[in-house]
Amino acid sequence: MQAWPGKPFPLGPEWDGSGTNFSLFSEHAERVELCLFDGNDEELRIELQEREAFNWHCYLPGVGPGQRYGYRVYGAYDPASGRRFNPAKLLIDPYAKAIEGPVDWNAANTLPYVPSADDDADLYLDDEDDAEAIPKCVVVDPHFDWDDDRRPAHPWNEMVIYEVHVKGFTKLSNEVREDLRGTYAGLASEPAIEYLRALGVTAVELLPVHHIIDEGFLHDRGLTNYWGYSSIGYLAPHALYAATGSRGEQVREFKGMVKALHGAGIEVILDVVYNHTAEGNHLGPVLSFKGVDNQSYYRLVPDDPRHYMDFTGTGNSLNPVHPSVLRLIMDSLRYFVIECHVDGFRFDLASALAREFYEVDRLSAFFDTIHQDPVLSQVKLIAEPWDVGPGGYQVGNFPVLWAEWNGLYRDTMRDFWRAQSNVAQFASRFTGSSDLYQLDGRAPFASINFITAHDGFTLHDLVSYNGKHNEANGEDNNDGTDDNRSWNHGVEGPTDDPEVAALRARQQRNFLATLFLSQGVPMLLGGDEFGRSQRGNNNAWCQDNELSWFRWDEADEELTEFTRRLIELRQAHPVFRRSRFLSGHETKGSGLPDVWWFRPDGRRMTQKDWQRPDAHTLGVFLNGAEITERTPEGDEIDDDSFLLLFNAYGDEITFTLPTRRFGARWSLELATSNDLPAGPMWTARSQVTLEGRSLALFKRV
Query: How many angstroms separate the CA atoms of 261 and 696, rounded?
Result: 34
Reduced to 3 states (helix: H, G, I; strand: E, B; else coil), residue 445 is helix
From the list 100, 384, 404, 691, the catalytic residue is 384
User: Residue 189, Cβ neighbours under 10 Å: how many?
Assistant: 22
DSSP state of 94: T
| 271 is an active site residue | no
On the 0-12 / 13-18 / 19+ scale of CB atoms within 10 A, 678 is exposed
Give the type of residue at 381. L
Q: Angle CA(571)–CA(577)–CA(580) in degrees, nearest 5?
A: 150
Which residues, in sequence order, are CB contacts of 347 under 8 Å at separation 6+?
A: 272, 274, 353, 381, 382, 383, 384
- CB contact burial 277-310 (16+ within 10 A = b; e otherwise): bbbbebebbbbbbbbbbbbbbbbbeeeebbbbbb
- Adjacent-strand bridge partners of 45: 35
**Which residue in 100, 348, 404, 691 is the catalytic one?**
348
Q: How far is CA 81 from CA 121, 123, 294, 306, 315, in A?
A: 15, 11, 10, 6, 18
Indicate if 348 belongs to the active site: yes
In whole angstroms, what is the distance from residue 450 CA to residue 308 CA?
Answer: 33
Of 396, 510, 491, 499, the closest CA to residue 451 belongs to 510
User: What number of other Cβ atoms are within 10 A of residue 219's Cβ?
Assistant: 16
H helical segments located in 311-363 = 323-334, 350-353
How far apart, in whole angstroms, are the C-alpha atoms of residue 27 and residue 296? 7
Q: Which residues are catalytic?
A: 348, 384
